[in-house]
Amino acid sequence: MGDSIITVVAILVAAILMFVFPLLSVAERSDDIAQLAVQTATIEFVDNIRSTGKIQESSYNSYIQTLAATGNSYDAEIEVKVLDENPGKKVTWASGDKIGENVYYSIYTSQILETFEKEREQAKKTNDSNSEVAYLLKEGDMVTVSVKNTNLTLSQILRNFFYSVTGSNNYQVAAKHSGIVTITGTNI
């Protein structure tokens, strides 16, 4: 009797060791790869914005596609800090007799996407099929893109099964990149 219990336990342990453990390991590798892909894509996307001075809809779409190709769902946030060169007149919280206090104000993903949409409508209205849909930036603006996965990846599920580290803000794949825009963008 005691023997067969031990056998059952042994089979369970063996099963876990032989199947779940390798699976966990493979799942973690695949997350690593996803992490790498996401990081690369993010850096390329941001550097492209910095060197062209504009956020093109086409490059945004292909960035989102690259993210989706890793098999996870992501929350990608773009933040643009627009440089408000501010030499004379001041906003209310700064004194009015100084020149050159530069202020940044922020633009977020939703506003950028809204711009894309309106630009597309505008292009349709004017029958201008050549015009590029893009959000223009200028030299000195700062752009930040941060992305993290919103689903549970396989390795997260497995890990949660063994030792619980869940929380609502827990993510496995994340990347962030930012930089200063180096050229004033223009529509082609």
Partner 1 sequence: MKVQYIAIIFIIIMIPLMLVLTVYTQSQIDNLGVQLQYDTKLYDATYDGMKAFQLNTVNNKYSQVADSLKRDVEAAIKTFITSLSNNLSLSGYSIKDVSPYIPSILFTLYDGYYIYAPTYAEKLQEVEKDSIDVDGNPVKIIKEESKTPIEYSYENILKPYIYYTVKYHKNENNDFIVNYTLDNYIILYGMVNGQYVTKSGFLIVPGKVKLEIDKLKLETILKRNILEYILPLRTLDNADQETILTLYDRAPLGNLRPIDKVSLTSNFGEKLLNRLLTTKTLATVNDDVLLEEMLDSKIDEFLEDDDEIIGENYIITDDGIIDEVIDVFKINYDGIEISDSSAKKYYVKALRFTNWINKNLPDIKVSDAIKIDGSQYEEFKDNNSYLFNTINGNDPEDLSSTFSQHRMLAIRISIQTNLNTAIAKYNERFFEEKTYNLKMPLMNDNEWEKITNHISMATFFQGLQIGNKVYNNYTVVASTENKEMISNDNMYYFKKDLTGTVYYHKIDCPNLEDDGEIIGAKNIDYDVYKSRNEDETYEYTFGDIIEGVRLKGRPQNNIKQVGDITELSACYDLTKLYKNCIINQNYIPKITLNANRLKAKYTTIGRERNNLYKVNEYINM
Can you give the binding site for partner 1, defined by CB under 8 A?
A: 7, 10-11, 13-14, 17-18, 21-22, 25, 28-29, 32, 35-36, 39-40, 43, 47, 50-53, 82-89, 97-102, 105, 107, 111, 114-115, 118-119, 122, 126, 135-139, 177, 179-180, 182-184, 186
Q: Which is nearer to partner 1, 140 or 151 (CB)?
A: 140
Cα gap 173→176, rounded to integer Å: 11
Q: What is the SS3 assignment for 146?
A: strand
Amino acid at 137: L
| Longest alpha-carbon distance in the chain | 92
Give the nearest distance from C-beta 168 to partner 1 in angstroms. 27
Give the nearest distance from C-beta 187 to partner 1 in angstroms. 8
Asked whether 112 and 133 are in contact (CB, 8 A), the reply is no
Asked whether 120 and 133 are in contact (CB, 8 A), the reply is yes
Q: Which is nearer to partner 1, 74 or 116 (CB)?
A: 116
Q: What is the SS3 assignment for 80?
A: strand
Q: Which is nearer to partner 1, 35 or 66 (CB)?
A: 35
Give the nearest distance from C-beta 102 to partner 1 in angstroms. 7
